[in-house]
Chain A
């Protein structure tokens, strides 16, 4: 009798119901059709992966002496010539930045990445974060330009590579986002002049492609300036990107504002809140939360769109990669360079996308409950 009182330990569920085998059974081989299809896909994936490993690892050439690319050319496409990356990686990352000073550009990239990581942590979302940004961007400016603290001055036209991509994207979005919130609010304003101005701005900018805006900034704009006055080429491109991103983000934010039920506005009014208190405390926190996916979508899009600055002769990451393979010795190794550049873009975009998924889940936890 007393034996029976001791509960037997819980038994694990049968492996046909939980665990990897069950997962494979229910998801990949639930019927003969899906089973066949899974096998076919598996076969194609393995075949492709083996081909890629053979090309990219087994047959690959990792370095060649003194720009002698004969070893690479003899592969005739059966193996990758990663030697082009070994030789050109510093040019792809830093462009024409003076070789001995490239640690400064490298440090700037690290500061950028550190800044992104710090800003991504919700525990750091305080007023001081603004100061951190100002400090970090100042440090990057000092590192890149130099001219103080014993650093040699490096003019803007020598900057290039990944650091240009990060500068254009970070400054572009950092300035475009606040701008877009103001424009989105302005577009819903009851003041006709402000509303008209915002509508005009959004529609004008959205009505032209980014490439033509960049082209205007680099080719038309200087003609309007008085003789001898020059606005830096990078700054002109940066402003064009800010204006363009601002218009697109404004429409995303406006979407969030419109989705919010009227009751929220009316409740805020009933509490007697001023316009800015209502917007800052009630409307924006809810509206922005709703539009995280499209916002990040636009962010990712703009991160990649910065590569269009190639049209005005700025060496961003992609242009630097293309320029690296102009030298006759290295012509024809485009695939290796594009794969590498694509991988760098992917790292940044994938990180942004994963982060937004987490953020979305965290901020909307009260909804899914």
Chain B
């Protein structure tokens, strides 16, 4: 935030060098530890979150954390303690997030972190699941009448420097034989102002960022997000490698929220479903049969508690991401039954 991106990159490089210089230490971090027991002994989950990103994690005027990632932190706390207040949120920056996790300062990272091969393997982390499929897109003014990013040939495009965003843009343009003039501005606020003032025809960043910017405009309908998504940014939680049990809990809590949506069980009707729903998978999800919770080391009612506290996946999405203008229909975040990628293995 506000910091020069080049500086960020330089600092990232320093951190990388540090990690390379300390192989013994990174190894030591991977010794098996029981995160679940540590959380229980402490009486609270420590969740690493963004220092502030609209819709995902941001403190409101009263200083209370709210957002999509925050609800996921709560879901883990509910699965373990059946108490959504037993979470401590530690704001982490892009540079400090992985160290915070490796050193045990936080138990789990819900911080818009893209799952990549290098992060999964060399940082001593595990990515249990993907709870939001993001990707780089374009926004243009509705008055231009553009319908597709492929029509952007010859356009000027606003982009932040030194990020993968800039790299993705030039890769995509080369692959599609599109020539463009980049307008490169470091600070996000100035970049958006440049786009709004008409200094560039299009503005590119991750789709979630585009939606948030669009929603903040005086008349959002004046801006259109083009359908093309030119990069894959699967965002999800990260945990320390070497504690499969805790990774299971994080993974299956997300799946429980997906299955609840599949079965149309919401925060409002969960108790009713518990009393009357006779579908076998619902019975297992809600903990009436199957002892699935015990297998995770949790209470059998864990999924029921999670649904009652934060709701199913669709409810969490609609509560935080729909208001900032993110479309779920026809996006990878739709349920698999509706052509999306959100798919949970069976509860049995």
Chain A contact residues, CB within 8 Å of chain B: 70, 73-74, 87-88, 90-91, 94-99, 102, 155, 157-158, 160, 211-212, 215, 218-220, 222-225, 227-228, 230, 233, 310-315, 319, 322-324, 326-329, 331-332, 334
Contact = CB atoms under 8 A, between A and B. Distances in A.
Interface stretch (B89-97, B128-136, B227-235): B89-97
Interface-centre pick from A74, A212, A218, A324 (highest chain B CB count, 10 A): A218
Contacts of B226: none
B91 A328 contact: no
Given A219-B95, A230-B103, A323 B29 contact: no
Interface residues of B, number: 51
B218 A73 contact: yes
Contact of B91 (A73, A157, A230): A157
Interface in B3-61: 3, 7, 11, 14-15, 18, 22, 25-26, 28-29, 31, 33, 38, 51-55, 58-61
Given A310-B3, A313-B96, A88 B103 contact: no
A328 B189 CA distance: 12
Contact of B54 (A87, A219, A326): A326
B332 to A, nearest CB: 23
13 contacts: A88-B61, A90-B62, A94-B63, A158-B88, A219-B15, A223-B18, A223-B22, A225-B103, A227-B29, A230-B103, A310-B51, A311-B3, A334-B189
A219 to B, nearest CB: 4
Contacts of B189: 331-332, 334
Interface of B: 1-3, 7, 11, 14-15, 18, 22, 25-26, 28-29, 31, 33, 38, 51-55, 58-65, 88-93, 95-96, 99-100, 102-105, 189, 212-213, 215-216, 218, 323-324
Nearest to B53: A326
B198 to A, nearest CB: 15
Nearest to B22: A223
B18 A323 contact: no
B104 A227 contact: yes
A99 B102 contact: no
Contacts of A332: 189, 216
Nearest to B33: A227
Contacts of A222: 99-100, 102-103, 105
Nearest to B3: A311
A319 B51 CA distance: 9
A313 B3 contact: no
Contact of B64 (A99, A223, A227, A314): A99
Contact of B62 (A99, A223, A323): A99
Contacts of B22: 223
A319 to B, nearest CB: 7
Given A219-B18, A319-B51, A328-B54, A157 B90 contact: yes
Top 9 A-B pairs, shortest CB-CB distance: A222-B103, A331-B216, A96-B63, A323-B52, A313-B91, A326-B52, A99-B62, A328-B216, A219-B99
A87 B7 CA distance: 33
Nearest to A72: B218
A230 B63 contact: no
B14 A215 contact: yes
Contacts of A90: 61-63
Given A155-B88, A228-B104, A323 B93 contact: no
B89 A157 contact: yes
B347 to A, nearest CB: 34
A240 B218 CA distance: 44
Contact of A313 (B15, B93, B104, B215): B93
B18 A311 contact: no
B28 A227 contact: yes
A102 B55 CA distance: 25
Contacts of B33: 227-228
Interface-centre pick from A98, A219, A230 (highest chain B CB count, 10 A): A219
A227 B31 contact: yes
A158 B89 CA distance: 8
B60 to A, nearest CB: 7
Contacts of B63: 90-91, 94-99, 102, 158, 160
Contacts of A228: 33, 38, 104
Contacts of A311: 3, 11, 93, 95-96
A160 B64 CA distance: 12
A91 B62 contact: yes
Given A219-B99, A313-B96, A326 B58 contact: yes
A327 B54 contact: yes
B61 A87 contact: yes
B109 to A, nearest CB: 12
B120 to A, nearest CB: 19
Given A96-B65, A160-B63, A215 B51 contact: no
B3 A223 contact: no
A313 B96 CA distance: 8
A91 to B, nearest CB: 5
A215 B52 contact: no
B103 A233 contact: no
Given A96-B89, A99-B62, A310-B2, 13 more contacts: A90-B62, A96-B63, A99-B63, A99-B64, A211-B11, A227-B104, A233-B105, A310-B1, A311-B11, A313-B93, A326-B53, A327-B54, A331-B189
A313 B57 CA distance: 13
Contact of A323 (B51, B103, B323): B51
A322 B52 contact: yes
Nearest to B323: A328
Contacts of B60: 91, 327
Contacts of B59: 91, 95-96, 323
Contacts of B93: 310-313
Contacts of B102: 222-223
A313 B51 contact: yes
Contacts of A322: 1-2, 52
B11 to A, nearest CB: 6
A233 B7 CA distance: 21
B95 A328 contact: no
B343 to A, nearest CB: 30
Contacts of A98: 63
A327 B18 contact: no
B99 A218 contact: yes
Contacts of A220: 15, 18, 99
Nearest to B19: A223
A162 to B, nearest CB: 13
